[in-house]
Amino acid sequence: GAVVSQHPSWVICKSGTSVKIECRSLDFQATTMFWYRQFPKQSLMLMATSNEGSKATYEQGVEKDKFLINHASLTLSTLTVTSAHPEDSSFYICSARMDLRSGNTIYFGEGSWLTVV
């Protein structure tokens, strides 16, 4: 079946540095990918919608200059947390939408745990 892979699964970085998380659709093309954030014991909240070849659409309250999203190909979207701070520590998870002709189904990645120290 379709698989969406995220890398890294977990990462620890120092405050002030940047960290990149990759989201790949392994056996299908995804024109749209979504990025969610989940703080401990909370629900998942949509951060942004990433469309291949165009700028991402960010949800209200999400800083686009801090959370850089690049969807450079039909199988890869990246989320870069710039100048990370401890409050950015969270679980980040992506999802990818298979195109309409292939069923329009959405698959989630395994998620990435980010800890900023």
Partner 1 sequence: AQKVTQAQTEISVVEKEDVTLDCVYETRDTTYYLFWYKQPPSGELVFLIRRNSFDEQNEISGRYSWNFQKSTSSFNFTITASQVVDSAVYFCALSEVSRGQNFVFGPGTRLSVLP
Residues at the contact surface with partner 1, assessed by CB under 8 A: 32, 34, 36, 38, 42-46, 49, 91, 93, 95, 97, 104-106, 108, 110-111, 113
- Give the shortest CB-16-to-partner 1 separation in angstroms: 25
The residue among 51 and 70 lying less far from partner 1, judged by its C-beta, is 51
- Give the shortest CB-68-to-partner 1 separation in angstroms: 19
- Give the shortest CB-26-to-partner 1 separation in angstroms: 15
- Using CA atoms, how far apart are residues 91 and 39, in angstroms rounded to an integer? 6
Residue 24 backbone dihedrals phi, psi, to 5 degrees: -120, 135
Best CA proximity match to 31, nearest among 105, 111, 109, 110: 105
- Give the shortest CB-114-to-partner 1 separation in angstroms: 12
The residue among 16 and 103 lying less far from partner 1, judged by its C-beta, is 103
> Which tokens belong to 68?
């850089």
69 in the Ramachandran plot: left (φ > 0), alpha (ψ -120 to 50) or beta?
beta
The residue among 82 and 108 lying less far from partner 1, judged by its C-beta, is 108
What count of other Cβ atoms lies within 10 Å of the Cβ of residue 112? 21
The residue among 44 and 76 lying less far from partner 1, judged by its C-beta, is 44
The helix (H) or strand (E) run that includes residue 116 is: strand 112-116
